[in-house]
Amino acid sequence: MLLDFEKPLVELEKRIQQIRDIAEDTDVDVSDEIRQLEDRATELRQEIFSNLSPAQRLQLARHPRRPSTLDYIQSIGDEWIELHGDRGGSDDPALVGGISRLGGIPVVMLGHQKGRDTKDNVRRNFGMASPGGYRKALRLMDHANRFGMPILTFIDTPGAWAGIEAEHLGQGEAIAVNLREMFGYEVPIICTVIGEGGSGGALGIGVGDRLLMFEHAVYTVATPEACAAILWKDAAKSPQAAEALKITAQDLKSLEILDRLLPEPVGGVHNQPVQATEILKTALLEELQSLLELSPQERQQLRYEKFRRMGVFLEG
């Protein structure tokens, strides 16, 4: 999938490849020309990805080739064992989780899981979890707290499933219980927004001691399309809504909601997933070591104070 703002860069890279092919066929030395074009491509890539608008960052956060929760879990963890079911008759594939080790430390990892293609997206409901998914997450987090295992959550959803059946099954109650219980857990909790963090669907696994976000990830109370439809009755105004909502990692860092911004490789994590995985694993290990030095009571108090500070402002 090619995004609009990536087209000039892709065209330049195609031109470089064409010159290489012609040089091989004609045995002409064009190394200087190729070097100049490659330098220009590097400059253009840096220029494009350092000046993205919130709407463009949202496009990157939704990129179909962006690594998913399972991609990261299987790359950073050892001895990964996926666990299934909420013990109430449901096993939601839109929210996955299980037991693993991170740097030798037993942990529970869980997160939203989008599909890799259209068929898989339909099966996983595009990463929009049902009440059963949040109850499965609660079961796994209770397990982690009982056995003293840190909890690592990975957020990547446009929001919780908003179907009528989800309301019948208690979507709001399921998310609310997760919020309440996560505040009381004694083990360290680290939440990472790896793509799109939308509404209560994100918050259902988003209460933690640390909030991390990738550079081009977004975190929002509602999708810009939904916000534009509500405010202006026109979803086409979503770029203005994205600007106003302050959805980017940079915005959330300035608002002191985000604890750590994870830099992405130039071009986005979908272009260099191995490097992105190394960045994420390093950050998680550093934050986890820091949290393990605190007592459970200290972590709970800091978690409480962290969320109490959110939304506080002074009028001049």
Note whether 94 and 226 are same-domain residues. yes
Residue 147 structural domain: 56-309
Kindly provide the residue ranges of all beta strands, DSSP E only, lying in the chain, ordered along the sequence: 78-83, 95-102, 105-112, 151-157, 189-198, 210-214, 218-220, 260-262
Residue 85 included in any domain = yes
Contact 196, 213 (CB under 8 A): no
Handedness of CA 148, 174, 284, 117 (dihedral sign): positive
Note whether 32 and 61 are same-domain residues. no
CA separation (Å) from 168 to 5, 20, 162?
42, 61, 11
Cross-strand pairs, 98: 82, 109
Residue 134 included in any domain = yes
Q: Please tell me the predicted confidence (pLDDT) of residue 132.
A: 96
Note whether 196 and 137 are same-domain residues. yes
Note whether 205 and 173 are same-domain residues. yes
Please tell me the total count of domains within the chain.
2
Q: Please tell me the predicted confidence (pLDDT) of residue 28.
A: 67
Residue 127 included in any domain = yes
Note whether 280 and 298 are same-domain residues. yes
Task: Enter the DSSP assignment of 5.
Answer: G
Note whether 137 and 211 are same-domain residues. yes
Exposure class string for 254-269: b at 16+ Cβ within 10 A, else e: eeebbbbbbebbeebb
Q: Please tell me the predicted confidence (pLDDT) of residue 137.
A: 97
Note whether 108 and 202 are same-domain residues. yes
* Closest C-alpha to 263, from 219, 214, 192, 218: 214
Kindly provide the residue ranges of all beta strands, DSSP E only, lying in 35-104, ordered along the sequence: 78-83, 95-102
Note whether 106 and 244 are same-domain residues. yes
Q: Encoding tokens for residue 197?
A: 């963090």
Give 284's contacts (C-beta < 8 A, 6+ positions apart).
Answer: 76, 102, 152, 190, 192, 212
Q: pLDDT tens string for the chain (316 positions)?
A: 667 777 777 787 788 777 777 777 676 677 777 788 777 877 778 778 888 899 999 999 999 899 999 999 999 999 999 999 999 888 999 999 999 999 999 999 999 999 988 999 999 999 999 999 999 999 999 999 999 999 999 999 999 998 999 999 999 999 999 999 999 999 999 999 999 999 899 999 999 999 999 999 999 998 899 899 999 998 889 999 999 999 999 999 999 899 999 999 888 899 899 999 999 999 999 999 999 999 999 999 999 999 998 877 667 6
Residue 236 included in any domain = yes
Q: Encoding tokens for residue 31?
A: 């190394």
Q: In this structure, what CATH number is given to the domain that contains residue 124?
A: 3.90.226.10
> How far apart are alpha carbons 159 and 93 in whole angstroms?
15
> How far apart are alpha carbons 142 and 140 in whole angstroms?
5
Residue type, 31: S
Task: Enter the DSSP assignment of 248.
Answer: B
- Quote the Cα angle for 33-36-41, to 5°: 125
Residue 270 included in any domain = yes
Residue 315 included in any domain = no
Give 161's contacts (C-beta < 8 A, 6+ positions apart).
Answer: 94, 125, 128, 129, 130, 171, 201
How many CB atoms neighbour CB 198 within 10 A? 27
Residue 314 included in any domain = no
Note whether 268 and 122 are same-domain residues. yes
> How far apart are alpha carbons 315 and 204 in whole angstroms?
31
